[in-house]
Amino acid sequence: MKLSIVVPVYNEVDTITEILARVRAAPFDKEIICVDDGSTDGTRELLSALADENTRIYFHDRNRGKGAALRTGFGAAGGDIVIIQDADLEYDPQQYPRLIQPILEGKADVVYGSRFTTGEYRRVLFFWHMVGNTFLTLLSNMLTNLNLTDMETCYKVFRREVLERITVEEDRFGFEPEITAKVAKLDVRIYEVGISYSGRTYKEGKKIDWKDGVSALRCILKYNLLR
């Protein structure tokens, strides 16, 4: 099976070279699809230099958000399995074998990589982020009737035919509850596997904040109760 690894990128000049090196080292037949979402720190120019026959780069003319970048990337994906990969080094491509294993074994159509079940390691950081993630996941679970432990995880893996049945509407971080609600309404098999996680601080470049939590709450209600 061929992997399509979709990498949304915004102002990650310090990490993009390393994350692409790690993705390229993954021992699978793959294509890498990077979508620069209007970076202004030199990331765009660096990405242009990093393109090769297996790495395609798409550029947004302005910052539109993670959901918009993923929508562009999904539209370009041609592999059998699609993996979302953040560009900030918080999620390690060495996890790909365990993430795709349930699909390769014919057990799953969608796999979430959870930071809160057993993984190899997890950096200890912000208590209130954990509380917020737990609350949003719990509310999402109540409305989708799923039992996920980490709805907000970056690592979401799909059979491509599942994504072809979904239209992504949210432009920003509301993508996570939106895609979860829409997957839950399909007749598909969802698995969760534990992953390692190396979170970063705001000083190190973390971008998500409380306003994104409010947006996620809105999207949980919108895509579960109003659709």
Q: Which strands form 3-9's sheet, in the order they lie side by side?
A: 55-59, 30-36, 3-9, 81-84, 156-159, 110-114, 190-194
CATH number at residue 37: 3.90.550.10
Q: How far apart are CA 113 and CA 62, in angstroms?
A: 30
Burial tier of 103 (Cβ tally within 10 Å: 0-12, 13-18, 19+): buried
- Quote the pLDDT of residue 205: 47
Whole-number pLDDT of residue 127: 65
User: Domain span at residue 209?
Assistant: 3-225
Q: How far is CA 138 from the centre of its chain?
A: 19
Number of compact structural domains in the chain: 1
Q: pTM for the complete prediction?
A: 0.91
In 10 A of CB 45, how many CB atoms? 12
Q: What CA–CA distance (Å, rounded) separates 110 from 51?
A: 29
- Residue-level pLDDT, tens digit, the chain, 227 residues: 999 999 999 999 999 999 999 999 999 999 999 999 999 999 999 999 999 999 999 999 999 999 999 999 999 999 999 999 999 999 999 999 999 999 999 999 999 999 988 666 555 555 666 777 789 999 999 999 999 999 999 999 999 999 999 999 999 989 999 999 999 999 999 999 999 888 645 455 455 666 777 888 999 999 999 87
Assess contact for 136 and 152: CB atoms under 8 A.
Answer: yes
